[in-house]
Amino acid sequence: MHELSIATAIVERAEEIARAEGAEDVSTVTVRVGELAGVVPDALHFAFEVARDGTALAGARLLVEQVTARAWCDGCAQEFTVGMPPFFWCPRCDRPSQELRSGRELEITGVEAVAAPL
């Protein structure tokens, strides 16, 4: 399950961000995951719960924003969803797409840190 290594990396990076902001703990981490990123959101949630133990994220929750895979058709100048499994042929003009516009994201978009007491 590669989600554990991804969750571990998320925890490590979120801790770095929290420390840089002078925070002691993290309450929420938000990530964007594209449907073609090869990450199963439920497995990522489970792995995050394991990876966060004993860290500044011990009580944190993970919010996963799923990103739909979309491609661009040069032939008819339209964007379309590719679905799962992905199908890269334009549904309007029946031409193959050469440009994937979204769906491979795997990024931290937010870290809510709890400020350290003064």
Query: Tokens 């497995």 appear where?
Result: 43
**pLDDT of 118 strictly over 90:** no
pLDDT digits (tens, 9 = 90+) for 16-48: 999 998 898 999 999 999 999 999 999 999 999
- pLDDT tens for each residue of 52-76: 999 999 999 999 999 999 999 999 9
pLDDT band at 117 (very low <50, low <70, confident <90, very high): low
For the record, the structure tokens of 2 come out as 């590669």
Token pair in block for residue 83: 């679905």
For residue 117, what are the CA distances in angstroms to 14, 22, 52, 114? 19, 10, 22, 9
Mean pLDDT of the chain: 94
> Is the pLDDT assigned to residue 1 strictly greater than 80?
no
Question: What distance in Å separates the CA atoms of residue 89 and residue 58, rounded to the nearest whole number?
Answer: 45
